[in-house]
C-alpha cells in the first residue's frame, strides 16, 4: 500500500469501530453525543482515560458475557488464564505498570491478525518480505518464548491462543519467566532455539550467561532472530546481545489493551507503527498533536480490530518521539519511547514537589556505559539510582556523573533538599508481578499518605 491507501484503510476501520460502539454501547452514545462519526476527524472524538474505562466498564464492553465482575471471577481460576472464554475471547490482565491493572478481552480474530502480521512482515521493504510456507518435510525453526505464568498476563494468553496454527511454521516452546535461573538455562540449552522472544531485561541475563559459557545457543541458522518487548531495550543490552549471540535484537512496543502498536524487524533500524492495526497519536497535555521530533506528553491509541473491547482514542501515559514515514514501508517510525508520564515522583521537603521521571544522563537519554538502570524513591525526601555498568567501566566516574545529573535535574524542579544516591549493581530485580524491569519506582501511595 501507499501511505495514502494505508491511511484510508485506517480511517475506514476506526469509523466502522465508532459506528459499532455507538450501536452497542450506552457509554459511547453519551460520550460521542454531537459527534458525526461519518464525517468527523479522529481528533474530534473525545479521548477515553483509564479512570473512565474503569468507571464505565460494563457500559463500554458490548457483549453481555464480558461484564467486568464475570471476567474477574473467570480470572480467579488459574486454569482459565490460557483458555479462551466460550471459545471466542482471549481474556488477560495488564500488569498495572501505569496504575490500575485492566482486564482486557480480545476477539480471537484480532489475535489471529496479530500473529499473521508478525509472521508476514519480516523483510527490509514492503515488497521483499518472505511469507511463511508450510511443508511436512521442512525443518521448522525452534521458537522459545518467555511468558509470565504466575498471573493472567497477555504474554501467556497470546502464546497459548491458537497454538496449533503457529506450530505449523515453528516448534513452539514456552518458558516460564518466573522459573529459577538454573532451570531456565538448562531448558534453553536442551531446546537450543534459533528464535527467541523475551523481555529485554531477561535478554541481558541470557547474554551474560552466553558470554561466560553457561549458555550455548547458536543463532547462525538462516531465519534466526531475537525479539524483545515489555520493558526497555537499552543500548547496553543491544550491545551485549550482539557480542554474545552475534545478532541484533528486534524491539517491540505494545500494551495489554493493544498488543500490536509498533515493532522492528530485520534490516529496519527503528520501531514502526502498525497503523493498519492501531491508530496512534502522539499528543501534548491538551491532546493536541506534537510535531515530528518532539516528545509527547502522552499518546492516544485506537485498536482497530478488536470489537470485544472498543477503545476510541484511549490514553496511554507513554512519552514518545515520532520520526518520519519509513522510506520502504507506508508506516511512520518511532524514534524513541521515553517512558511513562504516569511514573511521577512526589517529594516532601517539607514542601510538596511533583516531578515526572528522573534525568540520570544529563542532555543524553542513554549512556553506552550502562546496560540498565532504575531510579527509585527511598523516602519522601530521597531518591537513588541503581545502574548496571558495562564491564570495564570506570564505576566511580559513572556514578559521579549520574549524581551530578540528578542534582541538576532536581534543583531545576525546586527539589534542592531531596537527597540522592547512585550505586553500581550487578543485577536489578524485575517486578515480581509482571516480570518487567521498571525504570522509575516512586514511593508507594500509602507511604506518601503517611508523609502527608
Confidence of residue 449 (pLDDT cuts 50, 70, 90): very low
The pTM assigned to this predicted structure is 0.80
Which tens digit of pLDDT belongs to each residue from 341-364?
Answer: 546 788 998 888 877 677 888 766
Q: Which of 5-9, 263-267, 372-376, 434-438 has the lowest mean pLDDT?
A: 434-438
Q: Round the CA-based radius of gyration of the chain to a whole number and report it.
A: 22
pLDDT at 152: 81
pLDDT at 275 over 90: yes
Angle, helix 200-211 to helix 235-245, in steps of 10 degrees = 40
Across the chain, what does the average pLDDT equal? 86
Cβ-based neighbour number of residue 433 at 10 Å = 15
Cα 263 to Cα 366: distance, rounded to the nearest angstrom: 20
- The count of residues in the chain is 452
Which tens digit of pLDDT belongs to each residue from 370-405?
Answer: 988 899 999 999 999 999 999 899 999 999 999 999
363 burial (CB, 10 Å; 0-12 / 13-18 / 19+) is: exposed
How large a percentage of the chain has pLDDT more than 90? 45
pLDDT at 95 over 70: no
pLDDT at 58: 93
Cα 451 to Cα 216: distance, rounded to the nearest angstrom: 50
pLDDT at 451: 44
Which tens digit of pLDDT belongs to each residue from 18-63?
Answer: 999 999 999 999 999 999 999 999 999 999 999 999 999 999 998 8
Amino acid at each position: 500500500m501507499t501511505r495514502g491507501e494505508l491511511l484510508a484503510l485506517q480511517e475506514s476501520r476506526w469509523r466502522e469501530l465508532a459506528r459499532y460502539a455507538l450501536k452497542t454501547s450506552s457509554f459511547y452514545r453519551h460520550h460521542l453525543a454531537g459527534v458525526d462519526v461519518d464525517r468527523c476527524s479522529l481528533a474530534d472524538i473525545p479521548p477515553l482515560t483509564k479512570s473512565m474505562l474503569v468507571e464505565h466498564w460494563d457500559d463500554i464492553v458490548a457483549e453481555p458475557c464480558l461484564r467486568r465482575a464475570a471476567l474477574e471471577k473467570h480470572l480467579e481460576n488459574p486454569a482459565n488464564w490460557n483458555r479462551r472464554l466460550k471459545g471466542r475471547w482471549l481474556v488477560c490482565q495488564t500488569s498495572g505498570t501505569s496504575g490500575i491493572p485492566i482486564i482486557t478481552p480480545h476477539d480471537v480474530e484480532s489475535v489471529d491478525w496479530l500473529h499473521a502480521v508478525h509472521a508476514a512482515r519480516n523483510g527490509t521493504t514492503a515488497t521483499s518480505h518472505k511469507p511463511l510456507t508450510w511443508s511436512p518435510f521442512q525443518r521448522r525453526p525452534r521458537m522459545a518464548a518467555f511468558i509470565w505464568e504466575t498471573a493472567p498476563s497477555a504474554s501467556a494468553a497470546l502464546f497459548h491462543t491458537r497454538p496449533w496454527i503457529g506450530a505449523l511454521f515453528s516448534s513452539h516452546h514456552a518458558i516460564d519467566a518466573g522459573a529459577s535461573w538454573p532451570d531456565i538455562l538448562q531448558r534453553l540449552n536442551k531446546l537450543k532455539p534459533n528464535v527467541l522472544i523475551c523481555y529485554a531485561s531477561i535478554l541481558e541475563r541470557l547474554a551474560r550467561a552466553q558470554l561466560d559459557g553457561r549458555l550455548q545457543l547458536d543463532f547462525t541458522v538462516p531465519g534466526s532472530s531475537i525479539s524483545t518487548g515489555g520493558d526497555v531495550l537499552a543500548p547496553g543490552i543491544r550491545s551485549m546481545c550482539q557480542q554474545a549471540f552475534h545478532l541484533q535484537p528486534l524491539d517491540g512496543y505494545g500494551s495489554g489493551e493493544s498488543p500490536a502498536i509498533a515493532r522492528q524487524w530485520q534490516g529496519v533500524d527503528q520501531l514502526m507503527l502498525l497503523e493498519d492495526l492501531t491508530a496512534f497519536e502522539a499528543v501534548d497535555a491538551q491532546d493536541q498533536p506534537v510535531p515530528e521530533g518532539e516528545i509527547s506528553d502522552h499518546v492516544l491509541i485506537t485498536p482497530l480490530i478488536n470489537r470485544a473491547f472498543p477503545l476510541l482514542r484511549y490514553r496511554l501515559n507513554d512519552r514518545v518521539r515520532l520520526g518520519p514515514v519509513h522510506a520502504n514501508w507506508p508506516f511512520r517510525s518511532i524514534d524513541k519511547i521515553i517512558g511513562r508520564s504516569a511514573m511521577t515522583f512526589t517529594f516532601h521537603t517539607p514542601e510538596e514537589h511533583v516531578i515526572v521521571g528522573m534525568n540520570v544522563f544529563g542532555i543524553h537519554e542513554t549512556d553506552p556505559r550502562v546496560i540498565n538502570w532504575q531510579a527509585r524513591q527511598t523516602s519522601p525526601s530521597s531518591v537513588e539510582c541503581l545502574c548496571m555498568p558495562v564491564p570495564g567501566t570506570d564505576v566511580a566516574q559513572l556514578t559521579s556523573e549520574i549524581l551530578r545529573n540528578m542534582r541538576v535535574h532536581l534543583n531545576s524542579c525546586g527539589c534542592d533538599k531531596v537527597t540522592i544516591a547512585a550505586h553500581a549493581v550487578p543485577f536489578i530485580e524485575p517486578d515480581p508481578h509482571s516480570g518487567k524491569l521498571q525504570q522509575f519506582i516512586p514511593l508507594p501511595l500509602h507511604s506518601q499518605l503517611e508523609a502527608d
